[in-house]
Amino acid sequence: MNFKKAAIIAAFAISSNAMANPSVTAIWAGVVPGSSTGDVIKITGLNGSAVEQGELYVNADGTFASSQVRLEARKIDTNELHAAQWTVTNTTVAYSTSGATGANLDIYLDGTSWIDGPVNAASFDLTLVQTKALDVVPGEAVNAQVTLVASAVL
């Protein structure tokens, strides 16, 4: 009888250890490289290269800061920097597992807070900061996107 009890206890202990094992989700993300072209200008990354993907440095409470993403307006025919009026048309912050909502996304242009409305510039470094603590799940993926339109200043 003691052997049966010991076997049952051992089986329970082994199965409970299996249930208590932690898990993690490894994440890879990518963007098809390139630039966006209009009639007069094209939007590029640094020195006319493809726009690079930024990185998010996410905290346990869902707040985050981003790396810089360089954006440049360049004349199509000469590839020289050209003044443009930039407008933010959409922002998105998505948390994959928790579906957390209510993020407070601040956009910075060359380290200065971007106030609503268009900005005139030939090039700048764009960064993001999400400042609101949210109910998030450890290991979940976070994605932030900002859509901008650039109009050539003629």
- Whether 80 maps to a domain, the answer reads yes
What is the number of other CB atoms lying within 10 angstroms of the CB of residue 147?
Answer: 10
The CATH number linked to 52 is 2.60.40
- Whether 105 maps to a domain, the answer reads yes
- Whether 1 maps to a domain, the answer reads no
Q: What pLDDT, on the 0 to 100 scale, is given for residue 32? A: 76
Q: What pLDDT, on the 0 to 100 scale, is given for residue 24? A: 64
Task: Provide the total of helices (H) and of strands (E) in the chain, helices listed first.
Answer: 1, 11
Query: Can you list the positions of beta strands (E) in the chain?
Result: 36-37, 41-44, 56-58, 64-66, 69-75, 84-95, 105-109, 112-113, 119-121, 123-130, 142-152
Number of domains in the chain: 1
Query: Mean pLDDT for each 10-residue chunk of the chain (154 residues)?
Result: 54 58 69 84 95 94 96 96 95 88 95 92 97 93 93 93
- Whether 12 maps to a domain, the answer reads no
- Whether 72 maps to a domain, the answer reads yes
- Whether 5 maps to a domain, the answer reads no
**Burial (0-12, 13-18, 19+ Cβ within 10 Å), 65:** middle
Spatial contact of 108 and 54, defined as CB atoms under 8 Å apart: no
- Whether 74 maps to a domain, the answer reads yes
Does the pTM surpass 0.85? The reply is no
Pairing of strands 84-95, 69-75: unpaired
Q: What pLDDT, on the 0 to 100 scale, is given for residue 38? A: 92
103 is in which domain, residue-wise? Answer: 34-152
Q: What pLDDT, on the 0 to 100 scale, is given for residue 12? A: 53
- Whether 98 maps to a domain, the answer reads yes
> What is the Cα–Cα distance from 139 to 27, expressed in whole angstroms?
9
Closest CA to 114 of 129, 100, 95, 133: 129
